[in-house]
Structures are given as structure tokens and as C-alpha cells.
Amino acid sequence: MKVGFVGLGSIGKPMALRLAAADGIDLTVYDVAPEPVAALVAAGATAAPGVEALGADVVCVMVRDDDQVREVARAVGPGPVLVVHSTVAPGTPAELAAEGLTVLDAPVSGGPMGAAEGSLAIMVGGSGDALDVARPALDALGSKVVHAGPLGAGTRMKLARNLVHFVAFTAVTEAQRLAEAAGLDLEALGEVVRHTDRVTGGPGAIMYRDTTAQLDPGDFWYGVFDHVRALGEKDLAFAIALADELGADVPLAREALPRLGKGLGV
């Protein structure tokens, strides 16, 4: 199987190295920077002089933004399955498909470490036929490949996933302000958070329902989430009271307190 890869940055390079090491894949790469291209050639890939010379059945794209994705896509042209791993605007995959290209939007989650280990989660939008063509490459890149739905669904799933990521990061900065105001060791707090998230699964630990509707009291999950609600409301109330005492700014906690139960469905 002939695979092209464009964009050998901090995530793209280790992804391409996984493809270079995979059985049954003939990899050709392109990047404007010579150093990562040289590293891929040393790993067994072929360097293309330009995107239009990739000569591949499947072209994976991991470039910086929508404009670069469009530039690469138009240079590739119709024929290959274009697999867009970059996180783009929700409408961009359909825009490319309207130009006659066969497109899968397939953003990834797991960062450089997941890329190096081949343990990425890959969220794919597009036709089943196109996914079948690209499947050997995707299986070499990730340990969880999810067909999210039609074209654009992979991007929408990635944006929902990253909403969790970056709202949680903002909540972490809020917790750090509270901890600092309380005279606590922020590095020790970080160790506790990372430790317990490895045990509990972090925010994803509550993501087992197939709907956001309110729960019937007879539903199995009602008792589970009502317990979470009770604990969460208690601890949020205590944290907000401590923040008021110390003069720490915790707007997300104040927003979360009245919204937690409704969001959990109880």
C-alpha cells in the first residue's frame, strides 16, 4: 500500500515513523523542513520533491491550519484518499470534497507520546469505502480508530473532545489560584491530580451515557450520578467558600455549582 505523509512536525513526524516501520506500507513523505524528512528517509521512507509527486493511494496530512490543508489537498488532487489529521474548521472537509476530492477527516488525540507509541485515538468522518482504503494506515497510527460518522463527524468529535481538554485546563488554573492563596505546594497538587486521574479516568469517567437527557429515577445511572452530584455540590460549595475567604478568583467553580446536577441528568 502506497501512503504519502505531509507535515512532519511534533506529532506528524512520530506518526510518519510509525508508518515507516509498518509492514505492507510503502511510505513517501514531504515537508518544507529538511531535518524531519532526512529522519524519515533514514527510517526507510522515500522523500518526495513536492506534494504533487507523492504518488500514493492514501495521503495523510498533518499540517498547521486550514489554509495549509487546502494547499496540500489541491496539490494532491483527485484520486488518492486524503486523510486530514489536522484539526480544522467543521466545514473544511466538505469544502474539499466539493472540489472532487475523496476526503476523510481524521483528527487525532493523544499528543506526541501517543503518536510515537502508535496509541493515538483517531476520530474519522467520511464514507465507509474510503475508510476501508485508509484502514491499514490508520491501524498503524492508532490503537483506537472510531468511525464517527459522515464527512465532518471526525472533526466535530475532536472539537467536543478538546472542549473537555481545554475547559479542564482552565479549571486547573483556577484550582492553582485557590491552592496558592491557601499556601499550598502547587507541584504537589499537580502530582495528586495526575495520580488520581490515572486511577479514576478524569473527566471522561462520567461519559458512559448515550444521551444528555434527564434521567428517570429508575435508571441505573440515576443513583450513580446523583451520588456524584451530591459529592460535587458539597465540595464545590466548600471550595467557593474557601475562595471567598482567601480572595481567590474561581468563576468556573461558581458556574459549575448550579449546573452540575442538570448536566449529569439528575
Q: Where are the alpha helices (DSSP H) in the chain?
A: 12-21, 34-42, 66-76, 92-97, 111-117, 128-141, 153-181, 186-200, 220-246, 251-264
For the chain, counts of helices (H) and of strands (E): 10, 9
The single residue listed with the C-alpha cell 493523544 is 110
Q: How many residues does the chain have?
A: 266
Catalytic residue among 2, 13, 144, 158: 158
Q: Measure the CA–CA gap between 85 and 122, rounded to whole angstroms.
A: 8
Residue 178: closest CA among 125, 117, 127, 247: 247
The verdict on whether 262 is a catalytic residue reads: no
Interstrand relation of 120-125 and 108-109 (parallel, antiparallel or unpaired): antiparallel
Q: 6 pairs with which residues across the strands?
A: 30, 61
Other Cβ atoms closer than 10 A to 93? 28
- Cβ atoms of 208 and 239 closer than 8 Å: no
Listed residue (141, 30, 154) closest to 92, CA to CA: 154
| Catalytic annotation, residues | 158
